[in-house]
Amino acid sequence: MKHLRVATLALAALLPIGAQAALKPGDAAPEFKTTAALAGSPFDFDLAEALKKGPVVLYFFPKAFTQGCTIEANAFAEASPKFAALGARVIGISHDDIDTLKRFSTEACRDQFAVGSDPRGATIKAYDAASLLPGVANRISYVIGQDGKVVFTHQGSDPIRHVDETLKAVRDLAPAKR
């Protein structure tokens, strides 16, 4: 079963994502609320409330505890102090259930940022992050400004690049805070 899951995720990484039309800069970011976990503790995440405190880096990932998703979570964890210094909050979202994400928030996210559960895929679909495979999101990242508009979008299979590119976009948003 584990080999089938790895093969399925590897196939998903090879599938073209060009068919998905990601939200573009200037588009209104769809509002959402979700059950999320931070440092192993569940809480209710509300995008509108988070935006009152600063920009939000919203990234979608295929599946908790897979190799690429763990690498991405580790990289976002390492960069979390930089995002925080710029006033930005990071949240990752997947189809995983909240119990899985409570563990992932501690083990892979290193208690540094929240991960949200979207088992029905409503938020994933609203942000054009749905994959051709059921229960798996595409790897796509957004930076959402405090005005609720998308200011940056990045799609691609390289998990480290998502962190680098979103951090650059947040820095560009707040040049006075550098």
Catalytic sites, residue numbers = 69
Cα–Cα distances in angstroms (integers) from residue 44 to residues 30, 36, 117, 121, 125, in the given order = 17, 6, 10, 17, 20
Element at 70 (helix H, strand E): helix 67-85
Residue type at position 160: I
Name the nearest CA neighbour of 74 among 117, 41, 104, 35.
Answer: 104
Can you tell me the distance from the alpha carbon of 35 to that of 42, in angstroms, rounded to the nearest whole number?
7
